[in-house]
Structure 1
Amino acid sequence: MKKKIALITGGYTGEAEVSFKSAAFVQEQLDKQKYDIYPITITLDTWFHVTETGIKIPVNRENFSLDIDGHILTFDVAFIILHGSPGEDGRLQGYLDMIGIPYTSCGALTSALTMNKEYTKAVIAGIQDLYVAKSVLLFGADRKEAAEIVQQNLTLPYFVKPNAGGSSIGMSKVKALSELQEALDKAFDAANTGCQVLVEEFVTGREFSQGIFRNAKGELVVLPATEVRTTREFFDFEAKYVAGLTEEITPADLTEEQKERASGIIRDIYVRLDCKGMVRVDFFLETGTDKFYFIEINTIPGQTPQSFIPQQVRAAGMKESDFYAELIEAAILPAPKLQR
């Protein structure tokens, strides 16, 4: 009997647009001989599924079921492809935990923690060979004095970004103090990001993104890294999603020692944060020092055709359909004995 998959997408933030594209790609790749796939859209107003005939079916939130022509449909697993809130901040995971539906992503606590960039940096501090940029975390109460606080603690240039945002929405690079206030306002005002702003000192170097997942056997599998080279000032929303603005090299041109060191760091991050499913870690390799600097971790990485994870899956010699099936089976099966 085919497993019933709720492919959850949409969301409450500006990343919803990307979520729909990611979910469409995942649905296209999933093996229809093994899975019955039901896209579920979550918005601030409603949760629903649209049938192949165009009928909109509301989700019963008491047990996450659908009533289709009098037949109550429940799911074997939720495949979460919802970037931003509530899919990436732990809210959806907490709900699914309460009603007993397994899912493909990190758990509620890990998801909530990793949406907070500064808190994540505090937890991963001390991992061997991993460095973090000097930073300041600003809360809503700090807004009037924010520029002064930044100048007192950090040295230009800065990266200014919402502490709980994604897809580089609300993010700016500040090279002069005259640009700081506008960048702070942009980050504070980013929708549904908690009114917290993280300001970091800029790290000069090459930028990389690298995926990792735990398979159904409990093994950690690190995917090949991708190097990001953009014509933009930094890897912002447009650079991520507008064709032609960024060169993405997969697998990245790293020495064997650098590959081994990066792989060990990413495994340690995954274990330290108690991750599940697939995640993606972004980092800099600092010019002149060869140090790996942590940027952030993404627990619901983009899955559009041009996204990093699909690129890396192909570079590892896997088919996307097999990779997504591995995530589903790992979520459904009893927890295996974990291996690092």
Structure 2
Amino acid sequence: MKKNIAIIMGGYSSEYKISLKSGNVVYDTLDSSKYNTYRIHIFKDKWVYVDDNNTEFPINKNDFSVTVNNSKTTFDCVFNAIHGSPGEDGFMQGYFKLINMPHTSCDMYQASLTYNKRDFLSTLKPYGIKTAESFYLNLGDTINEDAIISKVGLPCFVKANKAGSSFGISKVYKNENLQGAIDVAFKEDDEIIIESFLDGTEVSVGVITYKGETKVLPVTEIVSDNDFFDYEAKYQGKSKEITPARLTKDEEAKVVKAAKQVYDILKMKGFSRSEFIFKDGEPHLLEMNTIPGLTKESILPQQAACAGISLSDLFDNAIEEALK
């Protein structure tokens, strides 16, 4: 008997358009002989099932069901394709835990922790995971530019603490540009993180649970045409993504070990994609995405393809793992 799969997409953050694209790729890719698939749009003002005629039917939040023509449909599993809030920050995971609904993403605590860059990096430091030097600010704090620059140096990166797809991020070269970058970051979040610039090869490492085992996918090297791997570089073709990355065997071994260690330390499940930059031959962790892009052009599917895992197999495995 075919399983009913709800594919949640959209969300409350600046990443909602990218999420809709990812969700539709999942919808188009899942095997229709195994699954009945339903596109569920999650927005602040509505949770709706959208059929192939773009007709909307409201979701019953009590049990995450939908009624169409007096026929109620419940779901066997949720495929989470929401980048940003509420799909990547723990809120949907907590809701699904309460109603006992299997889903393809990690658990609530891991989602919340990894979405908060400051807490995520702080949690991993005692385990020997190397990171950039950093400075934290909350909205309303007194800003001491000299203290910030003294700690992280120039150039530096100013980032919204809880945002993805490079929204709210700036690279700062001069003291006089720091305040403007802080203002940009605070438009995305009320917490920011300012990090030292690491001048080295940037890589992205996908780690997933595949057939019951933690699997590190081939490493991708990021070569941005822009000053850094910003929104344009990620989504508008202003970068080269080279898989497998052009690393020495020693560098590859180090970053694979670190990425797997992070995944295992946090007791992760489902998809993850961690970003590292090499400094003095050592990988330094920047962040982890737990709902990475899922289009054919996205980094994690590219890595899976390099490992001999098709998009269909990648998505099917995620559902099978969630249903265990």
Normalising TM by the smaller chain, what interval?
Answer: over 0.9
Residue 238 (structure 1) aligned with residue 232 (structure 2)? yes
The 8 Å contact of residues 90 and 112 in structure 1, kept in 2 or not, is answered as: yes
Counterparts of 1:151 and 1:262 in 2: how far apart (Å)?
29
The 8 Å contact of residues 104 and 319 in structure 2, kept in 1 or not, is answered as: yes
Q: Secondary structure at the match of 2:276?
A: strand
Aligned residues: 324
Map 1:119-268 → 2, pairs under 5 A: 119-128=119-128, 130-142=129-141, 144-145=142-143, 147-190=145-188, 193=189, 195-217=190-212, 219-243=213-237, 245-268=238-261
TM-score (norm 1): 0.93
| Amino acid of the structure 2 residue aligned with 1:203 | L
Partner of 1:115: 115
Q: Secondary structure at the match of 1:150?
A: helix
Map 1:1-340 → 2, pairs under 5 A: 1-128=1-128, 130-142=129-141, 144-145=142-143, 147-190=145-188, 193=189, 195-217=190-212, 219-243=213-237, 245-286=238-279, 289-333=280-324
| Amino acid of the structure 2 residue aligned with 1:272 | I
| Amino acid of the structure 2 residue aligned with 1:309 | L
The 8 Å contact of residues 251 and 282 in structure 2, kept in 1 or not, is answered as: no
Q: Secondary structure at the match of 2:136?
A: strand
Counterparts of 1:146 and 1:299 in 2: how far apart (Å)?
33
Query: Which aligned runs of 4 or more in structure 1 are off by greater than 4 angstroms?
Result: none
Deviation at 1:127, TM superposition (A): 3.2
Partner of 1:337: none
Counterparts of 2:247 and 2:307 in 1: how far apart (Å)?
15
Counterparts of 1:206 and 1:30 in 2: how far apart (Å)?
35
Deviation at 1:323, TM superposition (A): 1.1
| Amino acid of the structure 2 residue aligned with 1:275 | M
Counterparts of 1:169 and 1:326 in 2: how far apart (Å)?
30
Counterparts of 1:122 and 1:207 in 2: how far apart (Å)?
21
Deviation at 1:292, TM superposition (A): 0.5
Counterparts of 1:224 and 1:151 in 2: how far apart (Å)?
36
Q: Secondary structure at the match of 2:145?
A: helix
Q: CA RMSD in A?
A: 1.2
- What percent of counterpart residues are identical? 39
Gaps of 5+ in 2: none
Deviation at 1:149, TM superposition (A): 4.0
Counterparts of 1:146 and 1:329 in 2: how far apart (Å)?
51
Counterparts of 1:150 and 1:304 in 2: how far apart (Å)?
38
Q: Secondary structure at the match of 1:278?
A: coil
Counterparts of 2:164 and 2:275 in 1: how far apart (Å)?
12
